[in-house]
Homo-oligomer: A and B are copies of this chain.
């Protein structure tokens, strides 16, 4: 027997499609599913299908949503004069955990990446610009990732939005709280020095 029996082999292959799951982990997870009760396995199967079928994109901010609007755009208490621009819905979740930001978001669904052939036309940038036309927005906070692609996207958006007379800001770079200076790379340290604040 060179391979596992077919239904198991198929499940192993499916697990391998997930990011960061190699062959060994896929085998382990597939055997774990076999050890599930019928109810558990079917609940898992149904949850995969339901997530794909029921998760939509917010009409306004392109965040994930279970209806027309995401819970943030549907919340009347959020401040629509500030838009925080992120690369993906996961970033929205990370920022929401801080429970500090009261504005709204815009999800680009990626970042400009000349290396991977992703130009601005592949991102939800027209949808962002359309939102700025209402005159309601006074600040756009760019929270793309702190890497080459995120930086390129931030530069591109800044050039596009500033002429509209809207304030554009970028998340601060610096040493992570609770970190150790020894572990910070030089670029981060340089940015932390540049951004130093008087006490």
Q: Which residues of A contact B (CB under 8 A)?
A: 1, 4-8, 10-11, 13-14, 17-21, 25, 27-34, 36, 38, 40-55, 64-66, 70-72, 75, 88-90, 93, 96
Contact = CB atoms under 8 A, between A and B. Distances in A.
B55 A8 contact: yes
B43 A14 contact: yes
Nearest to A51: B11
B90 A51 contact: no
A112 to B, nearest CB: 19
A127 B130 CA distance: 71
A138 B20 CA distance: 45
Contacts of A13: 47
Q: Which of A27, A45, A93 has the most CB of B within 10 A?
A: A45
A12 to B, nearest CB: 9
B40 A49 contact: no
B34 A55 contact: yes
A29 B14 CA distance: 12
B51 A8 contact: yes
Contacts of A55: 5, 7-8, 34
